[in-house]
Structure 1
Amino acid sequence: MNPLHDLFIKAISKRSLFLLAVCICFELSIFAQGNMIITGQVIDVNKEPIIGATVQDENNKNGVITDMDGKFSIKVSSRNATLNVSYIGMKSQNVKTNGRKQLTIVLEEESVAIDEVVVTALGIKRESKALGYAVTEVKSDNLTAGRENNLMSALSGKVPGVDISTTGGGVGESTRVTIRGNSQLSGSNAPLYVIDGVPMDNTQLGSANENGGIDYGDGISSLSPDNIESISVLKGASAAALYGSRASNGVILITTKSGQKKQGLGIEFSSNISMVKLLSGFDDYQRVYGQGRNGMPPLNEMDAKGTTMSAWGGRLDANLPVLTFDGSYRPYGNVENNILSFFRTGFATTNSVALSSGTETSTFRVSVSDMRNNDIVPSSKMNRTSFTVRGSTQLGKKMGIEARVDYTIENVNNRPGLSDDPSNIGNSIIGLAPNLDQRWLGDSFKDEHGRYIDWNGNNIYRTNPYWVINEMRNKTKRNRIIAFINYHYDILPYLRFQFKVGTDSYNFQATEFSSKYTPTAPGGEMTITQRNVREDNYEAMLRFNKSFLKDRLDITAFIAGNIRRNESDKLINKGENEVVDGLVSITNYSNPYSPQHALIKKQVNSIYGALNIGWDDYAYIDFTLRNDVSSTLSKANRSYIYPSASGSFIFSKFLNIENSILSFGKVRASWAKVGGDTDPYQLNLSYGLSNVIFQGTSLGVINASKVPYRDLKPTSTYSYEFGTDLRFFKGRLSLDLGYYFQTTKNQILGLPVSVSTGYSKAMINAGEIQNKGIEMALSFVPVQTKNFEWESTINLAKNKNNVKSLHKEVKDYQLAAARWGNAFIYASEGQPYGVIVGPGFKRDPDGNVIFKNGLPTYDSDIKVLGNGTYDFTLGVQQSFHYKGLSLSVLFDMKWGADLYSMSARQSHANGTSKETLRGRAEWYESEEQRKANNVSEANWTATGGFVGEGVMNIGTNDNPVYVPNTVAINPQTYWTNVTSNTAEPFIYDASFIKLREMNISYQFPIKWFSKTPIRSLSLSLYGRNLFTFYKNVKNIDPESNYSNGNGQGLEYGSLPSRRSFGFGLNLKF
């Protein structure tokens, strides 16, 4: 470990204890005594008492906090004292006593319509009216309404221009977040995550490709939503430019909760319990024909095992006993719920407790959150515990310190395999014939000696799911610390110096274990992957903020420098062939692999600054400039500069036209250029040791698969944005509308090269991608009375993407490959990013499929079959409030993407899809007639069967004559042929409409607890992913993707998606 890093962590801990001591001392302090006692009560507009409001004498600064009835008693300095009364979320008031000894003070809710403050780059809070770019902020209550355990998934539908998806990898899965489309070919399209000013490493630690894999989550998936105060999404390059090269895809700023000044001592407890059920199911599976081939049930042991995943057998008959895979005879009838019964009801609980305190000069908050989640997949579960300490104190009039430490422990057992992984239980059970019950697999997955029992004709890649959950285990453990300490000194009232040190450090260990007799590892196998990752940031900043010309001219500026150091240490140990059966230890293998070790270091030095000018509260202009120097680029190219400019004009104020109809009107515009570097060690060859031993020494090898390019240059992203913010009827109707245009040039990517070179790719600069689109955030209050309010929010975004160019010798760049069907995900010139390509049906000039001998014909060349990226998103949220009762409903909609479902391909190949019923009865009847007439297949013209929709050529190739296809064939033959040659029939429109979230809560009247220490009590019922109202993909969730990489639109063996609903309690003292 880095000694400086260890010293920093120790300093943080000592500082936290100091802050706690300071806060306690302030709580016990006795303020200056006054000459007169004033009593009174603080209430809201509904005459409800306000507990914990601060009442302070402006003259002697003596202050008190209202009790459970909103009452107070304070000693003031004179008969005509001025009392400052404040409470979070309420407008503060200055009340003159004028000799009165008894006061009733009414506080109104604070308006946030025009002077709303949002968190922007580098954690700087600014009024939204001054911004020339789009920033969307989501508050804590909105984030936790559906009790989604994955923080980023909780944002779905709530921010225009942000697309969020997951892999279906179960508990602790990673999320894929893109802002305003995809812009990177080989690098990540993910935004930068910043927590309280500390950049966070969000590397996805495991993923799946066409051959399989396991999603081991990412950094953001381990954060507890209960600790979050708000999330700000910086979308355009202008908004994010100050964060440097990593921010070209946008920035997500996460602000955690803290103690509030003048709050006093408070305790908050929340508890939530959720039940997790299946959302999607296999509702399009046929229940007419059972296990077997060519219309016949299994007749012997070989058939009984070899056709468990083939439903091309005879018509189901519960009175017919047939031989099954385990040697038992069972009724050949339909088994209800034969697949979904494998999954259990999951449960998730989250309990959090927080202690907070605040005085005029200090704040403090400590919290503990514990989450336990048992997934629908048996033996899959996750535990996450977070400890957070945050505090601040003012050291005199000029100095102040703020610090925070967040420590998270995450343990996950048995994450499901994805794609074509042998541990993917989806691939095994979703193809089960309808007369077979998955429970029978659990009764006979191993014999009395612990050996694996074959159930499917020795198909080693379709492992018995009960063997998977019991004998192919995986476990991950992650310990993470995110911390910072920030010191500031006010040199002058308008000039502040601050120094901040932040760290994000975690260690991660993944263990994969396959016991002896596992089909793909007969001798047993174990792999342990360990990663230690750390990022340290050191930032010094000088800030200037002053008003001139009688406060009409406001100037804010800063200049700053930052040193960022990244280090990643990865070690993989693997062993095969167990020595002692059942002993789970990496030393218990006779065939250990040489450890694989990788150490990666990177440093970026930066200097940056900003100038913000405001005139008379209606005109604002901002300029930023940043220079990064990256260690990953050559000396000639490692320094790169990117500027930005933005402005906003509040025309309603300038023209003095603000009235009861138009409350506020603003236009904005911005421009920015952002640079980007690459991963370490892309410029030169790297070396390593092979497993080959010669004369007692490992032979050296070139440890690289890519040809390095020493003249790599930084990428460049150019962004333009225009928008308007209009508010009507005193804020009851708000419209934020924006247009953006973004181009990313000079991409850093690897182009395929001949294998004879010894490399797979060559690194170059090439490629240009363009994104343009519109975003709309509409909010209106149709009904508002004294006790009832209905608020509606609509978030809409439309993005148009185009791959403008790649390279003079390459017009298609592969982003991903499918395991079956010869399909790929490409970035192709002139096409949207992420098209699904592959060979398709051969068609006539009118678009009809051309058949020959009853079978379709195929193009030899690949063509575009679909696109895996959504281009239109819509979130609609409805909120209703009646006194203390609230109802919130969120609908999430996406259009424009396609999905290649290899699960659908499999269900057609094995005869379980309802579509495979077409022509079956007719074909079997025709076969009976053929056999009765003793005619060979070659001499028989089928009287019925599957007749494909299309045409056949009765002319010549040079002079075709097309007529409707009339040739009937065996449906099994047809679907076997189609599934072996093309993906086209299994590419579906992945559009959907979902009831994403619902929350019903009740806030009990505080007067009910006037005799108790309770300050607030609320109960809630909530649900997440409750219903899918519209979809085109059959049997699976349209959001299913087995990878969170750049190649989207591929699904294989997806597990059912989950819906959750539960109960929550929130209590404050």
Structure 2
Amino acid sequence: MEKTGFTQKIGRLFRLALLVCLCGALIPAKAQNARVSLDLRDASLEQAMNEIKRQTRYLFINRDVEDLNRHKVSINVSNELITAVLNRIFSPFGIDYSIDGKSIILSRRPQPDAEPVEVRGRVTDARGLPIVGASVVIRGTTQGVSTDAEGRFSLRVPPPAAAARLEINYLGYEPVVVTVGSRTSFDITLEESAAEIEQVVVTALGIKREEKALSYNVQQIDAADITTVKDANFMNSLAGKVAGVTINASSSGVGGATKVVLRGNKSISQSSNALYVIDGIPMYNFGGGGGTEFDSKGATESIADINPEDIESISVLTGAAAAALYGSNAANGAVMITTKRGQAGALKVTLSSNTEFLNAFVLPEFQNRYGTGLNGSASGSSVYSWGQKLTPAARTGYTPEDFLETGHVYTNAVTVSGGTERNQTYFSAAAVNSDGIIPNNAYDRYNFTFRNTSYFLKDKLRLDASASYIYQQDRNMTNQGVYSNPLVPAYLFPRGTDFDAYRIFERYNPASKLMEQFWSSDLEGGDLRMQNPYWIAYRNLRNTDKKRYLLSFSASYDILPWLNVAGRVRIDNANSLYTQKLYASSNTTITDGGKNGHYTEERGYDTQTYADVMVNIDKTFGDDWSLQANVGASINNIKTDLLSYRGPIQENGLPNVFNVFDLDDSKKRAEKTGWQEQTQSIFASVEVGWKQMLYLTVTGRNDWASQLAESPESSFFYPSVGLSWVPTSLWDLGPALSYLKIRGSIASVGMPFPRHLTIPTYEYDATNKVWTAKTHYPIGDLYPERTRTYELGLDARLWRHICLSASWYWADTYNQTFDPQISVSSGYSTIYLQTGHVRNTGVELSAGYDNSWRDFRWATNFTFSWNRNEIVELVHNYTHPETGELISKDRLEIKGLGKAKYILKPGGTLGDLYTNSDLVYNKEGFIEVDKSGNVAVKDDYMEDIYLGSVFPKYNLAWRNDFSWKGLNLGVLFTGRIGGVCYSATQANLDLY
């Protein structure tokens, strides 16, 4: 019995153990038979795991899988086994799993021998055309490449390659994300972004705004428009590409200064040049040059120092409302330049090289039929070429074109860009090396730029720092003038004289033991004091060395998603050294009588310091209302100093040894000049939008300018208001009219007035080394030169291929500042008056078309601008504040060149040209010639003879870009219709 009982106990235990084992085996079997239903679109792995946990109560344990949110999954299953679902979710990403009871344990799949997979592909647009420069990046990493000229790319994807996702982006197109999986070849098509017409543009202070919200005309230029055909001064590349802009390149040659006028000249006495703004910060355009019609020097300018390869885009604000936030600096409009910064992704290196050859395009028409002399006779002055008719044997064959050379410009640049999502770096280096068409003329510039952008505190804090160094040299940068311009003797060289005899421009003089100028004494002693043109080029040397650096720093912090605060500071410093070396035997008219040579040395120091701080709001209220506001303050300090020495080398000094210590003390001129201006400002801009259709923009700025020292008015205010209506944002007007915007604005801006007008001033006479008495009456009440502008316009896009833009404007400029002569009873010879009224009205039109047919693309754009300039009033019954004298002026004469002069009258323009000299005509209308052959000229006509206005009636341009299978062709036609031109060169050619 005991045995039986024991056996029964053992049996019960065995059955119990068997039951436990069966239950233990059934639990995982039941677990693995669990079923789930999922419907997820582009969800993270964590989202998928949470849904499985909710349905099955399983817990996930993650051992070594990093960043589950980085992987995205799309799955749609119904009542599927959990094991099948887990396989579909985790397998593509190289993640293994195991089920242990109610736990699912995740681990990284070991791949010790895995190799990177090389994937290739091609990126095209909807028309099948290759997209060049599209970025292809492995999502979640910084590894990536850009597509080549055929839209192709090749990229090595690290393991696990199957789980990797490629993200393809290009500006103006919707991004595309693809999973690599088992494929190694991809054909990717990018679709144009639906938000393309709602592009963002850079406006005043560097504020980015939607184009449809702007109530004024903004025209954008891409970087390719200024780098395809390069110019040392990239501003010249804007010619014909922006409506309402007149660009006049100087005669200084490569790298020379350029005048940029937006919507016509506005000021009687001050500059009408546009304001330049770099990354939202205004740049004072320091420049040199100057002189008289007899001797002047060409010069470059600050804007010409910028490397065009560093430019990302340019926005041209032609209207006052567009630039009103810059206050007194922006009366003439603004050119906004946005520079490049580093881009996240793989390191990208870009090399560019450009070579240009220069030749004189148009030369004056020269006569070569008559030789040296006057009135058909060889006797008389040997300067003239109106002597006897030359026989074929007597003709020397000389033409001024023989003096000119084939110039060249070599431009080479390298840019490096790369970084991570939170730290990007940009570096560039460029060199421009040029030899001009005039012998011994050269221009060299070297640019180095470094920029770094970093994000901190969960991307709320952004820091941006940049540094640029520019070294620029130029030699014999030629401008107008008689004495220092080699073209004068080259053009006027007598046709009956052999020019080849003077090509060797210097010879050794045993008496002086010097190499001296070889030239005709008759030419040197003539009215123009001409020298050998080669001597001017090689022995009248003018050199400029400039070293410039720009340091910029900006920071912004996102306090809330719709609120941030930002600050910027920039220091722009340039040191320049200009020297002029006139060698012994140069014409004594320009050497102050010195026979051993003449030396000039000028050291310039220019500094601009700018800083601002802004609070920015960008918030929406429901689906209907939006608010964008910017409030800030700024300070702008500009200072320039010039220290100069000039004079002839002393008689007992060493000839042609040039330094300031050997100058003749009795004739040496030592001067130190300079000035400083500071403007402190507060500003605000508020934009209210309704239903993304109607936008109201109001801006205001108040300036405290140092020019107002000693004036009762210590500041002045500039307001603007604008309205933009975009009906296509609310109503579908059909495929023919895909976009329509109607806009209008009113603005009041000002222009800086001359400094030092509110206090008595004295001038230093460097020749006599004495201070001269005060010359102008100090003004007590000083106001800025105001420009009030009204603008209406519309922008439209038709059938997605045609773009139209039209603007009409009316601009009144008043409080003009100039100094007519007054009675000397007050003790002053002049008084600066603030009166006068100039009006500019005009129209700007542009039309563009862009379309593609298979491999061929054609883009064309036409611009037209018309501006009417009118002087409404000059001076009428202005009361002298001290003497009570009434001052009225119905005309102002501004001396020109030779017998031509500008005369300003009410009803006329700022460019009206007059003369009191003309040829004498007989009754039959022919020019009178006396018996000696002299042409009859009358120089003292009592009435002014109107020659015309120098302003064109209108400007137009037509641009065409063609591309076919990677081959590009661009053609640009520009024209200025109307306007007279006075050429002193042609006048002298006619005379001599």
Verify same fold: TM over 0.5: yes
Q: Equivalent residue of 1:766, what SS? A: strand
Corresponding residue to 1:812 among 884, 891, 901: 891
The residue type equivalent to 1:154 in the other structure is S
Q: Are the aligned partners of 2:720 and 2:745 in contact in 1 as well (CA < 8 Å)?
A: yes
Deviation at 1:293, TM superposition (A): 2.2
Instruction: Indicate the residue corresponding to 1:88 in structure 2.
Output: 170
Instruction: Indicate the residue corresponding to 1:342 in structure 2.
Output: 403
- TM-score, normalization by structure 2: 0.80
Instruction: Indicate the residue corresponding to 2:210 in structure 1.
Output: 127
The residue type equivalent to 1:574 in the other structure is R
String of CA shifts for 1:396-455, please: whole Å, max 9, x gaps: 222110111121110001122413x31122222212233334333223555534344424
Corresponding residue to 1:401 among 436, 453, 463: 463
String of CA shifts for 1:496-520, please: whole Å, max 9, x gaps: 0111111222112211221222212
Greater mean deviation of Cα atoms: 505-514 or 340-349: 505-514
Instruction: Indicate the residue corresponding to 1:458 in structure 2.
Output: 525
Instruction: Indicate the residue corresponding to 1:65 in structure 2.
Output: 144
Matched, 1:677 2:752: yes
Corresponding residue to 2:863 among 786, 795, 799: 795
Query: Hey, what's the Cα distance between the residues in 2 that align with 1:436 and 1:171?
Result: 32
Deviation at 1:183, TM superposition (A): 0.6
Query: Hey, what's the Cα distance between the residues in 1 that align with 2:922 and 2:208?
Result: 61
Instruction: Indicate the residue corresponding to 1:663 in structure 2.
Output: 738
Within 5 Å, give how 1:140-179 maps onto structure 2.
140-179=223-262
Structure-2 change in CA distance of 1:441 and 1:191 (3 Å): same
Corresponding residue to 1:136 among 219, 223, 228: 219
Query: Hey, what's the Cα distance between the residues in 1 that align with 2:921 and 2:391?
Result: 43
String of CA shifts for 1:356-412, please: whole Å, max 9, x gaps: 113212221111001100001111101100000112010122211011112111000
Matched, 1:773 2:842: yes
String of CA shifts for 1:69-128, please: whole Å, max 9, x gaps: 44564779998x9x5723233624354769987784624264585122221111112221
Greater mean deviation of Cα atoms: 385-394 or 646-655: 646-655
Deviation at 1:660, TM superposition (A): 2.3
Matched, 1:212 2:295: yes
The residue type equivalent to 1:256 in the other structure is T
Instruction: Indicate the residue corresponding to 2:618 in structure 1.
Output: 545
String of CA shifts for 1:629-657, please: whole Å, max 9, x gaps: 11111442231111101121112333321
Query: Hey, what's the Cα distance between the residues in 2 that align with 1:280 and 1:850?
Result: 29
Deviation at 1:241, TM superposition (A): 0.4
Q: Are the aligned partners of 2:372 and 2:494 in contact in 1 as well (CA < 8 Å)?
A: yes
Instruction: Indicate the residue corresponding to 1:315 in structure 2.
Output: 389
Corresponding residue to 1:727 among 755, 779, 797: 797
Instruction: Indicate the residue corresponding to 1:583 in structure 2.
Output: 657
Instruction: Indicate the residue corresponding to 1:952 in structure 2.
Output: none
Within 5 Å, give how 1:542-691 maps onto structure 2.
542-550=615-623, 552-578=624-650, 579-591=653-665, 593-633=668-708, 634-657=710-733, 659-687=734-762
The residue type equivalent to 1:735 in the other structure is L
Deviation at 1:762, TM superposition (A): 2.2
Query: Hey, what's the Cα distance between the residues in 2 that align with 1:661 and 1:389?
Result: 47
Structure-2 change in CA distance of 1:163 and 1:654 (3 Å): same
Q: Equivalent residue of 2:910, what SS? A: coil
Deviation at 1:354, TM superposition (A): 1.2
Matched, 1:891 2:970: no
Query: Hey, what's the Cα distance between the residues in 1 that align with 2:927 and 2:405?
Result: 46
Q: Equivalent residue of 2:190, what SS? A: coil
Relative contact order (alpha carbons < 8 A, sep ≥ 6): 1 or 2 greater? 1
Q: Are the aligned partners of 1:66 and 1:72 in contact in 2 as well (CA < 8 Å)?
A: no
Query: Hey, what's the Cα distance between the residues in 1 that align with 2:279 and 2:226?
Result: 17
Structure-2 change in CA distance of 1:517 and 1:389 (3 Å): same
Structure-2 change in CA distance of 1:844 and 1:214 (3 Å): closer
String of CA shifts for 1:32-73, please: whole Å, max 9, x gaps: 88655578655323486988734465xxx4564258744564
String of CA shifts for 1:560-587, please: whole Å, max 9, x gaps: 0001111111112112234111201121
The residue type equivalent to 1:494 in the other structure is W
The residue type equivalent to 2:906 in the other structure is E
The residue type equivalent to 2:701 in the other structure is R
Q: Are the aligned partners of 2:174 and 2:191 in contact in 1 as well (CA < 8 Å)?
A: no
Query: Hey, what's the Cα distance between the residues in 2 that align with 1:113 and 1:47?
Result: 19
Identity %: 26
Structure-2 change in CA distance of 1:113 and 1:291 (3 Å): farther
Matched, 1:528 2:579: no
Structure-2 change in CA distance of 1:569 and 1:274 (3 Å): same
Instruction: Indicate the residue corresponding to 1:1007 in structure 2.
Output: none
Instruction: Indicate the residue corresponding to 2:810 in structure 1.
Output: 741
Corresponding residue to 1:479 among 537, 547, 553: 547
Query: Hey, what's the Cα distance between the residues in 2 that align with 1:676 and 1:417?
Result: 28
Deviation at 1:541, TM superposition (A): 0.5
Q: Are the aligned partners of 2:556 and 2:564 in contact in 1 as well (CA < 8 Å)?
A: yes
Q: Equivalent residue of 1:743, what SS? A: strand
Give unmatched runs, 5+ long, in structure 1: 1-29, 320-331, 911-1069
Greater mean deviation of Cα atoms: 477-486 or 751-760: 751-760
Structure-2 change in CA distance of 1:755 and 1:565 (3 Å): same
Within 5 Å, give how 1:428-507 maps onto structure 2.
428-446=489-507, 448=509, 449-452=514-517, 453=519, 454-456=521-523, 458-459=525-526, 461-507=529-575
Structure-2 change in CA distance of 1:850 and 1:785 (3 Å): closer
Deviation at 1:851, TM superposition (A): 6.3
Deviation at 1:260, TM superposition (A): 1.7
Q: Are the aligned partners of 1:193 and 1:251 in contact in 2 as well (CA < 8 Å)?
A: yes
The residue type equivalent to 1:577 in the other structure is I
The residue type equivalent to 1:416 in the other structure is T
The residue type equivalent to 1:393 in the other structure is S
Matched, 1:368 2:429: yes
Instruction: Indicate the residue corresponding to 1:707 in structure 2.
Output: 777
Query: Hey, what's the Cα distance between the residues in 1 that align with 2:937 and 2:308?
Result: 53
Query: Hey, what's the Cα distance between the residues in 2 that align with 1:244 and 1:713?
Result: 13
Structure-2 change in CA distance of 1:339 and 1:555 (3 Å): same
Greater mean deviation of Cα atoms: 678-687 or 115-124: 678-687
Structure-2 change in CA distance of 1:514 and 1:31 (3 Å): farther
Q: Are the aligned partners of 2:762 and 2:771 in contact in 1 as well (CA < 8 Å)?
A: yes
Query: Hey, what's the Cα distance between the residues in 1 that align with 2:419 and 2:731?
Result: 43
Structure-2 change in CA distance of 1:766 and 1:571 (3 Å): same
Q: Are the aligned partners of 2:418 and 2:426 in contact in 1 as well (CA < 8 Å)?
A: yes
Structure-2 change in CA distance of 1:560 and 1:287 (3 Å): same
Q: Are the aligned partners of 2:617 and 2:630 in contact in 1 as well (CA < 8 Å)?
A: yes
Structure-2 change in CA distance of 1:851 and 1:435 (3 Å): closer
Query: Hey, what's the Cα distance between the residues in 2 that align with 1:755 and 1:671?
Result: 42
Q: Are the aligned partners of 2:161 and 2:181 in contact in 1 as well (CA < 8 Å)?
A: no
Q: Are the aligned partners of 2:712 and 2:780 in contact in 1 as well (CA < 8 Å)?
A: no
Q: Are the aligned partners of 1:339 and 1:438 in contact in 2 as well (CA < 8 Å)?
A: no
The residue type equivalent to 1:566 in the other structure is I
Query: Hey, what's the Cα distance between the residues in 1 that align with 2:767 and 2:178?
Result: 88
Q: Equivalent residue of 2:234, what SS? A: coil
Structure index of larger Rg: 2
Structure-2 change in CA distance of 1:605 and 1:691 (3 Å): closer
Query: Hey, what's the Cα distance between the residues in 1 that align with 2:922 and 2:437?
Result: 49
Matched, 1:351 2:426: no
Deviation at 1:590, TM superposition (A): 2.1
Instruction: Indicate the residue corresponding to 1:879 in structure 2.
Output: 961
Count how many residue pairs are aligned between Structure 1 and Structure 2: 842
Q: Are the aligned partners of 1:37 and 1:101 in contact in 2 as well (CA < 8 Å)?
A: no
Query: Hey, what's the Cα distance between the residues in 1 that align with 2:546 and 2:676?
Result: 21
Corresponding residue to 1:256 among 332, 336, 339: 339
